[in-house]
Structure 1
Amino acid sequence: MYDPNYGITVPQQITWSGREHRISEIASYRARKYGTVTIHHYLVTDGSLDFHLSFDSETLTWKLYEVDTVVN
């Protein structure tokens, strides 16, 4: 979902391993330019699992890189 307050697309939930995971926190964010394309990288959590995602602003597609359990 696009957040006009921050001017970026913000993930709200992810479907992984047959389950819906509602994002409770964005732990980190950075944008990188590759020529004319901007790739937005996120580290997000649902409280139990951490997800490393990216969003391609040209193709409007998401990519999941990694899933890890939350360590307290």
Structure 2
Amino acid sequence: MIQRLAAPVSVDFISDHKTRRVLPRSLCWDGRVHPITKIGLHHTYRQGRTLFHVFSVLAQTIYFRLRLDTDTLFWQLEEISDGLPD
């Protein structure tokens, strides 16, 4: 089941200066820490002057869509899915 929401989350990530990449490693949402096992799609878009990075990640069997606001450096959970049909 896919659920869309707009919830603030804490994300631990690695910033690699050699490859100039940011890779999320785990996220804390609703009092639980979810280690990220796979990073899927990553894309960026602009809204006005603000650049957003969007990551699709997998933590065990749960899919998360995360958005990083580069102006505030805050992460937001936009979508979550357990992989089961609606």
Tell me if TM exceeds 0.5.
Answer: yes
Using the size of structure 2 for normalisation, the TM-score is 0.71
User: Residue 12 and residue 56 in structure 1: after superposition, are their counterparts in 2 closer, same or farther (change >3 A)?
Assistant: same
5+ unaligned residues in a row in structure 2: which ranges? Answer: 1-12
Deviation digits for residues 7-63 of structure 1, max 9, x if unmatched? 243221111232210011111100112222110001100121000110001100000
Higher RCO structure (Cα 8 Å, ≥6 apart): 2
- Counterpart in 1 of 2:51? 38
Q: 2-side partners of 1:64 and 1:18: how far apart? A: 14
Identity %: 27
Q: Which stretch has the larger CA shift, 54-63 or 32-41?
A: 32-41
Q: Which has the higher strand share?
A: 2
**Residue 5 of structure 1: CA displacement?**
4.1
Q: Which stretch has the larger CA shift, 11-20 or 37-46?
A: 11-20
Q: What is the aligned-residue RMSD (CA, Å)? A: 1.7
Q: Does 1:61 align with 2:61?
A: no
